[in-house]
Structures are given as structure tokens and as C-alpha cells.
Amino acid sequence: MARKKRSSPMLQKAVRRAAGMNSIDPNLDVGNGLTLPAFSTLIETMRTKENAYNSALSNLDKLYREMLQTESELGDMTEHMLMGVGTRYGKSSVEYGMAGGVPKTQRRKGLRGESPTPSEEQPSFVASVNSNGNGKKSAAS
């Protein structure tokens, strides 16, 4: 998603005011260094900076898209390199493990419905069952 470009409401307001002041006097001077030519110069400076900022955002978006594309290509090549090592040396080889793969001999396949933890680590449950075998207390107890 492209970054939102900036539009300055203050710049738009200044441009409108400058147009109105220009109709009064193109060389308007209200004292203390406040002149219409200086105001117009500052408006142009702001416009230039805003354009530079928006251009930088566009360039940044372009670089980001290029980086994502390269990252995708790198992921594909990484996978192909590992597959190539597996093809050349075998998927059970030490070289395959050195390249980052899990050798076939070290893979553990679980059955469907089986939890990933070994059965020795699972807690054991002991149920107490009375002599009548149904798990209920007898009336004589």
C-alpha cells in the first residue's frame, strides 16, 4: 500500500491570501519585513519542500516494493538451493543438515490425532474404581 502523500492546508490558505493581496498591490509592504514578495517566496519554498517530501515517499514506496520482490526471489532461491543440496548429496546426508535441512533420518512423523509430546511425558491419570466395577458408590458404603 502506498504511503499517503501530504497536502498542506496552510499552503493552500497562504496561496489564496497571496492572490487576494496581489490584487491590492503586487509590491505590498505592511512593515516589519512583511512584504508580498517575501510571502510569495516562502509559499514557493513550502511548495518545493512539499513536492520533495511527496517525491521521497514515492521513491520509498518504490524501494519497498523492490525490496519485497527481491525478498520473495531470495526465499525461492533459498528453497531451491536446499533442494539442490538434497538432490546432490541426499536428504539423509550430513551436507543436507549443514545446509539447513532436516535429514530424513532425524524427522519424526506423528500419527493423526497423536500429540507431539512423547507418551512418557504425558501425565498419567489414575481412576479409583470400587468393587462393583461401575465407579459408583454402593448403597452399603
- pLDDT tens-digit readout, 30-87: 999 999 999 999 999 999 999 999 999 999 999 999 999 999 999 999 999 999 999 9
The whole-model pTM stands at: 0.59
Mean pLDDT of 121-127: 56
Which residues are CB-neighbours of 104 under 8 A, at least 6 positions away?
A: 91, 92
- Whole-number Cα distances in Å, 65 to 2, 60, 73, 77: 10, 9, 12, 18
User: Half-sphere exposure of 24 toward its Cβ, with a 13 Å CA cutoff?
Assistant: 11
Mean pLDDT for the chain overall? 86
Kindly report, residue by residue over 77-109, the tens digit of the pLDDT: 999 999 999 999 999 999 999 999 998 888 787
Q: Residues 7, 11, 16, CA angle at the centre, nearest 5°?
A: 125
Confidence of residue 141 (pLDDT cuts 50, 70, 90): very low
